[in-house]
Chain A
Amino acid sequence: MLDRFIEKLQAFRCDGQSIRDWSVYQSESRRLSLGTKDRQTGVVHAPLTVSEGCGARYLLVWSDGRISRGSLERRQLDQDADSALAQARAVSFEDPDSDQVQGPGDFPEVDLHDGGVARLAGGEVEPLAGRLAAIRQVVESGRFRTWSGSFGGSEATARLRTSRGLDLGGRGTSFGWHATLNGEIGDGFGARAMDTDQEFEARLERLSDLASRLSLPGDPPQAGVMPVLLHPNVVENFVLGTLLGNLEGSGVVNGEGFFRKEQFGSQDPVLRTDLNLRLDPLVPMKSGSYRFTAEGVPANRCHFIENGRLVQPVLNLKYARRFGSSPTPVPTSLDTVHLEGPPELTEKQGFEAAAGGAMVLSVLGAHTQDASSGDFSLSSPQALGIAGSEAAGRLRGTISGNLFELLQSDHLTLVRFEGEHTPGLLVRCRFDPK
């Protein structure tokens, strides 16, 4: 299908212009998912779903230098190429920094495909039966009122061709699950293959333990600045989300993020000098691993923040040129993003260090914060008090402060939670119990 489309593209003329350079990234996928809503699996509001999809993203550089960039659906690729290309020409625009098309290069081999997940995506749902039974067992034994969640598996093939001779292909699978107990606290997993039964059950057990602790009343501390242990889920949802959002190249170049262009490459640290943020998309079977981006940039290991200093933003081809640097790999999932720093505390040591404070398990409203300022004011209805060296009863409250000030602070400590890729963060910030 892609080759036929490219033949038409190469022959296409519009307004007296031909297409001088082009890059087309096509993907085709099939997916199966199954939801559970309030204990009811596969019910009409969370049905067993199968889907097939095919589409492409394109960059066209016309002979007069104008640019077209966009997406194509299956119908346009397969049957309607000429009108799709005419539409692309009609919305073309001038953008001299977007005329870049990748040629052949060295691309890493990364294992991204799992036969079991491919069969699941194709309709073999039997592996889900045991997982569902395990969750139902945990719900019964923990006497949880309800649970909701989902399982999903997909298989996709992708191919990238460019006018400069790049022709790359690949295939991958993706699996994920998520479960929420009592409509309050949830956990899940995502990768290119299913987690093992042992890993699955251990994660469920930890979730069940936290949900049980939330049912116990806590002893609210006095409002004020105190040790607050952010659970890895909060670190991913809020901290890494905010950091990566501010590292996005277009925001940096256009002065819209917290970090300023001139700070990259400078020896002046913007965060604590032992903090690193790096990407490794070459680890086999991770959700965030890949061989090449849709633009044809090879996957590679890189640092965005090293020793508290800004190394480079996340740069696509266009913003790499505007920034005056090379394009970078792009984080696509947090399991390949590594937040590293001072020696990590164990979970037990973390609780000891946070005694008298709170562990925040989830936050409401992370998406409502102004990421460019770093100021935060978040409701944390699922928090646990910390007494002695363990999590105690439930707290509700609000945490507030400035994220970048926390990431510069001497009080910042990383805490390793069992089974979690991202560390928890022990910080000192304001907690106002309700």
Chain B
Amino acid sequence: MIRELEPLTGLAAELIRRAERAGVSLIWRAQARFACQTLVRNGSVESATASSSTGHGIQLFTSRGHTILGSRDDFLPQPATTLLDHLAGAVGRADRLALEPAEICPLTPLNARAIPDVVPEFDSIDLPRAGRRLIELERELRGAVPGAGIKLSYRTDLDCWRVFRSDGTDVLFAMPRCGLTMIASSNGGEGRNTVGASLHSPSPGCAWDDEYLVRFMARAKAAARLALALPDAPAHPAGSYPVVIDYALAKGLAHEAFGHAAEADGYRSSVLAKDGRFEHGRKVGADHVTIVDEPVENDHAWQPFSANGVRRERTVIVDHGRLAGGLSDPWSAGPGGVALSGAGRAESFRNGPVPRMTNIRIEVDDPLPAPGRFEDYGPEQVRDLLANAGVFRRHPVVSFLSGYSGGQVNTSSGDFVFNCKAIYRLSEGGVEFFKPAIFSGSMFGALHSIREAFGPLELDALGYCGKWGQSVPSSGGSHRFLVLDDHPTVRLGGG
């Protein structure tokens, strides 16, 4: 895929020259993506696909700040120059629709590359071999958790971009994403539930990597057992409760509750901004809580440069309970009153980039120990952690929300929701098991109520974020477990 982008230097120069002649500036985004996937179900390969997607997006800007974006799914020179000439004519007629201009902040030209070492491995992906491997793993899962319906998939995705700008910027980067995913369904009885598990790796060789497989299989078996148990679980009563959440849910909280509201393209309506500007220094959470977003090497959502050719910076969004920084691009940083963080991401060459998170995490000062592996912690072990830390003296019963299954936020109101895979009520006396329920409320209430944290940072909770109709990888985490006191604006359930 990198090979598709290497020869584009000449065409980029021609497009920049034509843009200049038309009196407009250019950002040219070329993308080449290669994805493979195979799915195994009931002991045989259900599907195996290899697909590529290449194309480019031409975004022009007038001196008055109007913009237009055009795209085409090849790199042929003649259609590209024709498209640019067409767009240059169309953007000049923007006044017909009363389009709004936007001012760009000063940018420094950048010439850089970021190609991870694993990229050559994508040249030798053997999908039939991966299918056979999945059949072996599926057999092992079926043996370990009899009665569960198992669907197992292997995916590889190499997403390569080259971004040119009129100011001479030329940035090339490749983002490798691979991993295994399992979906387990309960097959017997009256009820039915589905629970998934997945684990990211940058390497297509993950399906043969013993260390990776130990972690993945532990998660997959736990998810399959949960799927079997859930149909008989009662509903958790609705209300405000002290809760303990795992790091995947903490990622959901950081992403849904704070990350989206910190994206600078939304400051005209975000609850973290006033009159369109980020409210630096505003107290939004407990003093020992910090939220950070940054690209993490080898991560599912790693992106070293923005789709506008700006280097992605580490951003402390909340620093010890106070707003500190936002996620911005060259058009939103100035109006929003935040530093340029290079947060512009796009799903494909067809899309206009918007400020997005990459890997977001909640950090808590002075976390308590939680030794071993994360996969070693079931509800009983989490209960022991709370008991040893004296949490039950403050709250005799704590609801443990385990596993993240998606979320959503309204950045205008600060309302967030996310769902878990199961709930356990923990107390000195034991553990009670319940169906999952929505965790919802006010972002400020949630961030103020964080108390204890247990264990080191775990940052590989993965997902896809669908902001503005564009799906891009997201990830993040926190310490292994966070305890939140009950708060009247934060509720669990009903259901």
Contact = CB atoms under 8 A, between A and B. Distances in A.
Interface residues of A, number: 78
B488 to A, nearest CB: 9
Contacts, number: 264
B102 A401 contact: no
A157 interface: no
Given A257-B192, A365-B419, A50 B70 contact: yes
Contact of A49 (B68, B183, B437): B68
B486 to A, nearest CB: 14
Contact of B269 (A71, A183, A377): A183
Nearest to A367: B406
A117 B49 CA distance: 34
A400 B238 contact: yes
Contact of A373 (B52, B73, B231, B419): B231
Given A365-B419, A398-B440, A430-B238, A183 B410 contact: yes
Interface string B73-111: 111000100010011001100101111111000000000
Contact of A74 (B73, B101, B350): B73
Most buried by A among B87, B96, B195, B419: B419
A375 B435 contact: yes
A21 interface: no
A368 B97 contact: no
Contact of A368 (B94, B408, B435): B408
A14 to B, nearest CB: 14
A367 B68 contact: no
Contacts of A69: 47-49
B48 A92 contact: yes
A47 B194 contact: no
Interface string A409-434: 00000000000000000000010101
B169 interface: no
Most buried by B among A39, A123, A373: A373
Interface stretch (B37-45, B287-295, B377-385): B37-45
B352 A47 contact: yes
A382 to B, nearest CB: 9
A304 B74 CA distance: 41
Contacts of B50: 70, 87-88, 90-91
Nearest to B352: A47
Contacts of A38: 266, 268-269
A376 interface: yes
Contacts of B161: none
Nearest to B93: A125
Interface in A10-30: none
B149 interface: yes
B96 A125 contact: yes
A73 interface: yes
A89 B245 CA distance: 46
A432 B493 contact: yes
Interface string B48-74: 111111110001010000111111111
Interface string B187-222: 100011111000000000000000000000000000
A94 B417 CA distance: 43
A187 B52 CA distance: 35
A48 B410 contact: no
B427 interface: no
B412 A183 contact: yes
A269 interface: no
B413 A381 contact: yes
A46 interface: yes
Most buried by A among B41, B183, B265: B265
Contact of A256 (B45, B131, B151, B235): B151
A254 B438 contact: no
Contacts of A129: 96-98
Contact of A51 (B52, B71, B268, B436): B71
A379 B45 contact: no
Given A69-B49, A430-B238, A255 B99 contact: no
A41 interface: yes
Interface string B403-429: 001111111110111110000000000
A90 B127 contact: yes
Contacts of A223: 238
Interface string A357-391: 00000001101111111011111010000000000
Nearest to B440: A379
B408 A93 contact: no
B312 interface: no
Contacts of B262: none
Contacts of B468: 35, 45-46
A254 B149 contact: yes
Nearest to B265: A45
Interface in B5-57: 36, 38, 41-42, 44-55
A39 B436 CA distance: 38
4 smallest beta-carbon distances between A and B, as pairs: A377-B495, A183-B412, A42-B99, A368-B419
Interface of B: 36, 38, 41-42, 44-55, 59, 61, 66-75, 79, 83, 86-87, 90-91, 94, 96-102, 127-128, 131, 149, 151, 183, 185, 187, 191-195, 230-231, 235, 238-239, 265-266, 268-269, 331-332, 350, 352, 354, 405-413, 415-419, 435-438, 440-441, 468, 489, 491, 493-495
Given A93-B48, A93-B131, 5 more contacts: A45-B354, A75-B75, A145-B269, A375-B435, A381-B413
